[in-house]
């Protein structure tokens, strides 16, 4: 794995971890909180590899600033993931999170919500890329629960099935349309499925 790829992965992972951490709080869901811990292990691994590789490169091309930039960026991204861990940790207590936390999370600019995908809806049997979920609804998928299994950080190629619970993040005014689309009350137009 190259330096770019690793940096890309830690950046995307850190963002997923923050989304999952807030989701775990909102739903008082320990499974999701646990995933934040799992992802953190991967983050630490990558952070170490990035440091080593950046130093290795610096000994070759003598560009110390470049290596320093990469190492410090990776470190800051790592700090974001540690912060996500701290947030998710609240769910792992014996006492449920304070209800004000959930109230506050529902009022934010970026809300998190979940919906059960209806059978026969446009999402049933389609990949996230095909329905262009984020582009068409403003809602960005962060996790899918299928039975007892979770898919964290689903991508364009992830197929959604009827009965799945979809966890998403996005603007509040997009929530209703997203719900209607997922339940099968609303349908996408032919233009929505085509790319630009």
Partner 1 sequence: MVYYGEEDEEEKENLTVRELLTEIKDISEVIVDLAYAALLFDSQEIGAEVHHLCSRMDTLNHEIKIRMMIASRTAQDAIQLSGLLQVAEGAAAISAAAGDIVELLELNPKGNPIVSLVLKEAEEKIRLLTLSDRSDMRGKSLEDLSVETETGMRVIAIKRGIRWIYDPEETERLKECDLLVVRGTEDGYERLRCFTSGVNKWPVYPEEE
- What is the side-by-side order of every strand in the sheet holding 140-146? 110-116, 165-171, 140-146, 149-152
The string of DSSP letters for 17-86 reads: HHHHHHHHHHTT-HHHHHHHHHHHHHHHHHHHHHHHHHHHHHHHH--HHHHHHHHHHHHHHHHHHHHHHH
Q: Which of residues 25-64 bind partner 1 (CB under 8 A)?
A: 25
> In this complex, which beta carbon is closest to partner 1, that of residue 3 or of residue 151?
3
The interface with partner 1 within residues 75-114 (CB under 8 A) comprises: 75-77, 79-80, 82-87, 89-90, 93, 95-98, 100-101, 103-105, 107-110
Q: Rounded to the nearest 5°, which phi and psi values hold at 163?
A: 95, -20
Binder of partner 1 out of 1, 69, 119, 120 (CB under 8 A)? 69
Instruction: Considering the complex, state which of residue 61 and residue 148 has its C-beta at the smaller distance from partner 1.
Output: 61
Give 3 or 161: the residue with its C-beta nearer to partner 1: 3
CA distance 18 to 46: 18
Stretch that binds partner 1, among 117-125, 129-137, 143-151, 159-167 (CB under 8 A): 129-137
Distance in Å, CB of 87 to partner 1, minimum: 4
């Amino acid at each position: 794995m190259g330096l770019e790829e690793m940096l890309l992965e830690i950046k995307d992972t850190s963002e997923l971890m923050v989304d999952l951490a807030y989701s775990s709080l909102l739903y008082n869901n320990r499974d999701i909180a646990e995933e934040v811990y799992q992802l953190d292990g991967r983050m630490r691994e990558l952070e170490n590899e990035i440091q080593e590789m950046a130093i290795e490169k610096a000994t070759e091309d003598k560009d110390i600033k470049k290596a320093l930039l990469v190492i410090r960026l990776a470190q800051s991204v790592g700090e974001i993931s540690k912060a996500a861990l701290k947030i998710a940790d609240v769910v792992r207590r014996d006492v449920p999170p304070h209800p004000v936390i959930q109230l506050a999370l529902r009022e934010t600019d970026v809300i998190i919500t979940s919906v059960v995908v209806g059978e026969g809806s446009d999402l049933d049997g389609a990949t996230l890329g095909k329905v262009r979920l984020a582009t068409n609804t403003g809602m960005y998928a962060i996790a899918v629960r299928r039975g007892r299994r979770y898919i964290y950080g689903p991508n364009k190629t992830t197929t959604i099935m009827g009965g799945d619970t979809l966890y998403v993040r996005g603007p509040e005014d997009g929530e209703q349309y997203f719900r209607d689309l997922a339940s099968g009350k609303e349908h996408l137009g032919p233009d929505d499925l085509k790319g630009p």
